[in-house]
Amino acid sequence: MVTVKLGMVHYVIDHVYGAFMHRTRITPPFFSRGWGGPKLELLERMAKQLFPMYVEGQNWPPAMVRPVWRTVWETKTACLREGVFQTPCDDELTAALPPESRTARVAWLVPKNVPPQKMSCVVHLAGTGDHTFDRRLRLGGPLVKHNISTMVLESPFYGRRRPFLQRGARLLCVSDLLLLGRATIEESRSLIHWLDAEEGFGKMGVCGLSMGGVHASMVGSLHPTPVATLPFLSPHSAVVAFCEGILKYGTAWEALREELAAQEITLTLDEVRERMRTVLSLTDVTRFPIPKNPDAVIFVAATDDGYIPRHSVLELQKAWPGSEVRWVTGGHVSSFLLHNDEFRRAIVDGLDRLEWKEPW
């Protein structure tokens, strides 16, 4: 009885936080400027061209990037650098990105006095609203003693890459969400390729919380070599977040309907939500190929998550046989705050399930 009541408390906290963030007028809703017009059509076309490749289990090779680094600080045991590079997206996709988002930024925390072939590196991807490097560096910092390096990618549309007219994390158009995801996948795969081919790291991984976990799943699925894939508190698709979870209360459904009405497409709000489901089905990770090493996929999910229902986590585990789900007691918000040790344990365990690139 106590466990049930505690679970309900966590669930209520998620909904109270969600009501404050998404039902008040403190911040604008998501997609206040509509669907995105030609950009959305471009992304839908590009995704449909790629899905036959996904089904066949092929992977297009990552583009090589060459970040330019500066040292932020250095101690006897570790060094923090920040780097920049041009997004490796193709010309058509780069042109669709806002100018502010075309230059990628990363922070890289590296153990010292350890050869790269004896180290692992994990790329940490941003959850919704994570505009800085700080939280993810705090998550990865204690892993230095395990000879695990942490690379934090600043998402397009976030931080210094945020478009001038965008307030906070509230993306202006539906197309921005798909652009953010596609560019994050391309940049992450290129960083992992750089760590492997140029730096010689012995093992690689990718992790992320919430939205970042969806992107981590996609990167782990599409990368041509095995990587530890570690999604935390994440759904199998953006459909869950925006059409089923609390974020549906922070979405500008009326603005989306009005844009369609201006095109002489008359839909009810329910039909608009159904169209959103169709568009966001492009983010359904169960349609992506199984990662090269599914044993190194560990999902960490919360028992009473008001944002991510249990069925969503289990759908992805079912689609990827051999993957593991670990449950932590809490909701989305409380687990984000209280269970960093469980996230770190999953990172260590996932990497342990990979073979070293070279014996040593």
Predicted pLDDT of residue 306: 85
Average pLDDT, 10 consecutive residues per value, the chain (360 residues): 51 45 66 93 76 54 94 97 97 95 98 95 94 96 97 97 94 95 96 96 97 96 96 95 89 96 93 95 93 97 91 95 96 90 98 86
Asked if 93 contacts 77 with a C-beta cutoff of 8 angstroms, the reply is no
Torsion of Cα atoms, 242 then 245 then 247 then 248, to 10°: 60
**Res 19: pLDDT:** 44
Residues in CB range of 192: below 8 A, 6 or more apart? 62, 123, 204, 206, 219, 223, 227
Q: What is the pLDDT of residue 16?
A: 46
Q: Give the per-residue SS3 of 283-308.
A: HCHHHCCCCCCHHHEEEEEECCCCCC
Residue 2's pLDDT is what?
47
Tell me what pLDDT residue 18 has: 45
pLDDT for residue 15: 40
pTM: 0.91
The position carrying tokens 């689609």 is 319
Predicted local confidence at residue 333, as pLDDT:
86
**DSSP characters for 125-181?**
EPPTT--SSHHHHHHHGGGGGGTEEEEEEPPTTSGGGS-TT--TT--SSHHHHHHHH
Residues 181 and 50: their CA atoms lie apart, in Å, by 14
